[in-house]
Structure 1
Amino acid sequence: MPQPKVKLVVTGDDFGYCDRRNRGIVDCFLSGGISNVSLLVNATSAEDAAELAKRHHIPIGLHANLSEGLPVSPDLEGSSLLNKDGVFHGKMGFRKVLQSGKLNMSEVETELRAQVKRFRDLTGHLPAHMDGHQHVHVLPEVREVFAQVLSDFGIMFTRVPVEPGLHSCTSLPSHLLDFYTQVEQDALQSVEVFRRHGIRWPDVYLGLSTMGQNMSVPNLKRALAYTLVSRTSLKSNGFTTPPHIVRNNDISTSDSDQPITAELMVHPGYPSHPQQGGCGQGPDDFSQSLDRQHELETLTNPSLLVFYQQQNIHLCAFKDL
C-alpha cells in the first residue's frame, strides 16, 4: 500500500449524547465516514456508547464537558462551575463566568480528573485523546489546567481548533464567524501551553466551516484542499496554518516522505427525540436538528469516500499518528 499523503482523523463528537446519536455515529463509522469518536462521559447514553465502541472496535477519546449538563464529580456542590440549578452554565455562560474572574480553577481540575476517571471506568482504559466540548479546553486559565491533567494522565493528543481557510468561507453567518474567530484566538494562545506539557495535535484542523447544513461534499473537498497543499506550504514557508502550530508540533514534519496529519471534527447522528438524551437537562436544539443526519449522509456519500482514495487520504485514529 502506498504511503498516504494525508492521515485524516475524522472525529465524531458527542458520542453518548443519546441513543439515536450513538446509533448514527456507529452507522457512520461502519460505513467508513468517521474513524474516531469523542465521548461525553456525563451524557445519558455514555455507558451504551462505551459498550458500542468496544463491540465495534471504535477508537475513542474524551470530550471533556464543563459547559453542558450535570458534573461527574460528586464534590462540586455550590461550585463556581454550576448555576443555581446545579448544572453547568452553558456554552456562553461558562465564558461569562470565566471572564468575570469567578471561576475556581481547582474545581475545574477536580471535574476534569473525575471525567478522565469516569472514562476509564466506562471503557477500561485511558483516552487516546482529549478535547473540550464547545472548545472550553482552549479558554484562558482553563487551558493550563487542562494541559496539566493531560500530562498527569499521560494523554498525548488534543485538538487545536485553528482552521485554515475559515475566514474565506462565505457561507458562515456573522455571529458564528465571530465566535469561531474567538475560538481561533484562544486556540493560538493555547499552543505554547500544550507544547510545554508535551501534548501533540495534528498539523491541520478542520470542521468549523463544515458543520450542519454547511457540510457538503464540495465544502469538505474545499476544506480538505488546505490539507492537501500543506506540504507545499511547509516547504515554501507560506504556511496555511500559523508557523508556530506547524513547526512546534511533534507530529508535524516538512519531510516530503511523511504524510500530513489532520483532524476533521464532525457531529453525525440521527436527531434526538425531545426529552430523550442530553447531559442531564434533555437534548438541545443542536442534537434534535436534522443537521445531524445530514452530516451522517454527507460523510458516507460514496463520492466523498472515492475522493479520499483518489487523493490518497487515509482515515485513521489518533493512535495511528
Structure 2
Amino acid sequence: MPQSRMQLVVTGDDFGYCPRRNQGLVECFLSGGITTVSLLVNGSAAQEAAELAKRHSIPIGLHANLSEGVPMCPNLLQSTLVDHRGLFHGKMGFRRCLERGQLCLTQVEMELRAQVRRFTELTGQRPQHMDGHQHVHVLPGVRQVFAQVLSDLSIPFTRVPVEPGLHSCPWLQAPLRTFYRQVEQDALDSIPVFRKYSLRWPDVYLGLTTMGQNMSVSSLQRALSHALSTESSDGTPTEHLLSAELMVHPGYPSLPGEGGCGEGPDDFSQSPERQHELQVLTDPSLSTLYRSQGVQLSCFRELHTST
C-alpha cells in the first residue's frame, strides 16, 4: 500500500433538495462514494434528509443558501434578498443585486443565522462545516458577514473554491469558464477575511472541473494529480499530509414539480447529470485510484489542515 499523501473529504451538496436527491446521496455515502453531506435547510426534503443523516450516521454540514427559493427567516419574506414573488434572486440575480448595492448585508446576516438555527432544529447539532450554495459565501461583502457568523457560532470549517488546474480545462464552455474564474477570484479574496476570523478549510479544493457530465474516473484522476503537485490555496507549501475537499452532486434526477427550495427543481436537478455523478463516485475503479494515489477518505472533523 502506498503511503497516505492526502486526506480527502468528498462532500455531497444539496442534501434535502428533493427525495430523489436524498436517496442518491445516502446510497453514495453507504457505498463509500462520499464522506459527508451539505444540507439545504430550505429544501423541500430537508427534514427527511436530517432524519436520514441521523439514521445512517452521515456527517452533515450546512449549505447556506441565499440564491434559490424562500428565506428561512420569516422577517425577510419581504426584503432586499427577495424579488416580488418572495423568492431569492437566483445565482446570477443575487450577484447583480450585490454589485448594484441593492442588498442589505444586515439581512444577509439575519438569514444566515436563521439557517443555522434551522439546521440545529433539524439535526440536533451545530454544523461542523458551512459553505455556500452556488458559492455565494465568498462574494464581496457577504464573505465578511459569513465569516462573522461562523466565528460567533463556533462553526470551524468552510470552503475556499480555488481549484488547481482550473485554467487548463479547454472542454469547459466559455460562460462556465468565466463564472468559475470569477468564483476563484472571489475565493482568493476571501482568504484573508476567513483567516482573520480563524476559520479553517482544506488545503486544496476540487470539484468545479468535474461537475455533472465532466465527471469521470479519468477527470478525477487529473484533478487529484493537480492537487497532489500543488501548494495550498493561500500559496504556502504544505509540509504535512495534504487535505482536500471534493465537491460533488450525486443523486437521481428530480421529478418535474418535485423538490427545490420553494420554486420547484432547476434544470440541472432534473437532468441525468446527477445520476451520472452517482455512478462515477460508486465505480469500484475510483476506489482503486484512491488507493494507488495514497488518498485517504475523511470527514471534516478528521482533517489536519494548515489553515
Shorter-chain TM-score bucket reads over 0.9
Matched, 1:263 2:245: yes
Give 5+ residue unaligned stretches, structure 1: 231-238, 248-252
Residue equivalent to 2:38: 38
Residue equivalent to 2:214: 214
Residue equivalent to 1:148: 148
Q: Could you tell me whether the CA contact under 8 Å between 1:64 and 1:130 is conserved in 2? A: yes
The superposition leaves residues 77-133 of structure 1 with CA deviations (integer Å, 9 ceiling, x where unpaired) of: 320000000010000000011011010000000000000010000000000000000
Residue equivalent to 2:107: 107
Residue equivalent to 1:317: 299
The superposition leaves residues 161-192 of structure 1 with CA deviations (integer Å, 9 ceiling, x where unpaired) of: 01010010121000000000000111110000
Overall identity of the aligned pairs, in %: 65
Residue equivalent to 1:223: 223
User: Per-residue deviation at 1:227?
Assistant: 2.0
Q: Give aligned pairs, total.
A: 303
Moved over 3 A (4+): none
Work out the CA distance in 1 between the residues paired with 2:286 and 2:27: 16
Work out the CA distance in 2 between the residues paired with 1:285 and 1:121: 30
Secondary structure (helix, strand or coil) at the match of 1:38 reads strand
Matched, 1:291 2:273: yes
Equivalent runs, 1:115-130 vs 2, <5 Å: 115-130=115-130
**For residue 109 of structure 1, what is the amino acid of its counterpart?**
E
The superposition leaves residues 238-286 of structure 1 with CA deviations (integer Å, 9 ceiling, x where unpaired) of: x4x55xx143xxxxx733xx31000000000000000000000011101
Work out the CA distance in 1 between the residues paired with 2:213 and 2:76: 37
Work out the CA distance in 2 between the residues paired with 1:82 and 1:288: 24
Equivalent runs, 1:23-172 vs 2, <5 Å: 23-172=23-172
**For residue 263 of structure 1, what is the amino acid of its counterpart?**
E
**For residue 254 of structure 1, what is the amino acid of its counterpart?**
T
Q: Could you tell me whether the CA contact under 8 Å between 1:4 and 1:312 is conserved in 2? A: yes
Q: CA RMSD in A?
A: 1.2
**For residue 16 of structure 1, what is the amino acid of its counterpart?**
G
User: Per-residue deviation at 1:2?
Assistant: 7.9
Secondary structure (helix, strand or coil) at the match of 2:61 reads strand
Give 5+ residue unaligned stretches, structure 2: none
Work out the CA distance in 1 between the residues paired with 2:3 and 2:116: 34
Work out the CA distance in 2 between the residues paired with 1:3 and 1:45: 41
Q: Could you tell me whether the CA contact under 8 Å between 1:36 and 1:59 is conserved in 2? A: yes
Secondary structure (helix, strand or coil) at the match of 2:76 reads coil
Work out the CA distance in 2 between the residues paired with 1:105 and 1:3: 46
Secondary structure (helix, strand or coil) at the match of 2:23 reads helix
